[in-house]
Structure 1
Amino acid sequence: MLPDDVRALARLLPEVIEGAHRGHPDFRVGGKILATLWTEEDRVVVKLTPEWQALMTEAQPDVFEPIAGSWDARGWTNVDLNSADEDTLRHALLSAWRTVAPRRLVAAFEPSA
């Protein structure tokens, strides 16, 4: 996957806007960062729940890796763009969106159970 693929998929999510964080493009919803793109390192960092982080890193350790230090405990996770396919990247971004988006927004776009 390429950085432009990240941009395109992130912008499909409701109310996501692109910004910048410490010189890197980022994607926000409700003023909160859901993903930061590291173009020179071919990775995107996404904010997941600790549970989703554990599931994804266990299922695809070649794609997902927790950020070292205290960032790990807060769910921040590297996604290797060289190893991720479109479905995996889409799922990671959607999971990050669900993690940080305002509950009212998530409820408005999630199918009723």
Structure 2
Amino acid sequence: MVTVEDVRAVARRLPRSEEHLIRDRVKFRVGKIVYVAFSRDETVMGFGFPREEREALVASAPDVFHLPGQSDMRFQWVQAWMATLDPVLMEELVIDAWRMVVPKRVAAAFVASLPDR
């Protein structure tokens, strides 16, 4: 199980990342672009994910991932139930979502600074 605090610990390390409370929902963004957001009850985490790969992700673990509501299908977005999300996978998903919204050089510098890279 993953908590908002677990995600916060990952997001705080990411350059240019900011946390905001918008309409009672915790969101992490770079500039004005949101890359992770939580449901009001913090049971679902939405995150940026390539549109062309999201069906495969949901199919690979339907007990963890699901597509967003119809109105959000136009965005590059997938959702995960916090109760079934693995902490290691969460970290990878958050970093990948962040990498989608920062300049490539910023992402490359951060990834190069990670251990085992």
Judge same fold: TM > 0.5, yes or no: yes
Structure 2 alignment gaps of length 5 or more? 113-117
Say if 2:49 is the partner of 1:48. Answer: yes
C-alpha separation between the residues in 2 aligned to 1:98 and 1:52?
16
Residue 39 to residue 87, structure 1, CA distance change in 2 (3 Å): farther
Residue 94 to residue 75, structure 1, CA distance change in 2 (3 Å): same
Look up the SS of the partner of 1:34 in the other structure: strand
Query: TM-score, normalising length from structure 2?
Result: 0.80
Look up the SS of the partner of 1:100 in the other structure: coil
Say if 2:32 is the partner of 1:31. Answer: yes
C-alpha separation between the residues in 2 aligned to 1:56 and 1:47?
12
Runs of 4+ aligned structure 1 residues displaced above 3 Å come to: none
Q: CA RMSD in A?
A: 1.9
C-alpha separation between the residues in 1 aligned to 2:58 and 2:69?
13
- Give the superposition deviation at 1:38: 2.2
Which residue pairs with 1:12 in the alignment?
Answer: 13
Structure 1 alignment gaps of length 5 or more? none
Query: TM-score, normalising length from structure 1?
Result: 0.83
C-alpha separation between the residues in 1 aligned to 2:15 and 2:56?
25
Q: Which moved more, 1:15-24 or 1:51-60?
A: 51-60
Is this contact kept in 2: 1:3–1:39, CA < 8 A?
Answer: no
Which residue pairs with 1:75 in the alignment?
Answer: 76
- Give the superposition deviation at 1:41: 4.3
Is this contact kept in 2: 1:16–1:27, CA < 8 A?
Answer: yes
Which residue pairs with 1:103 in the alignment?
Answer: 104
| Number of equivalent positions | 111
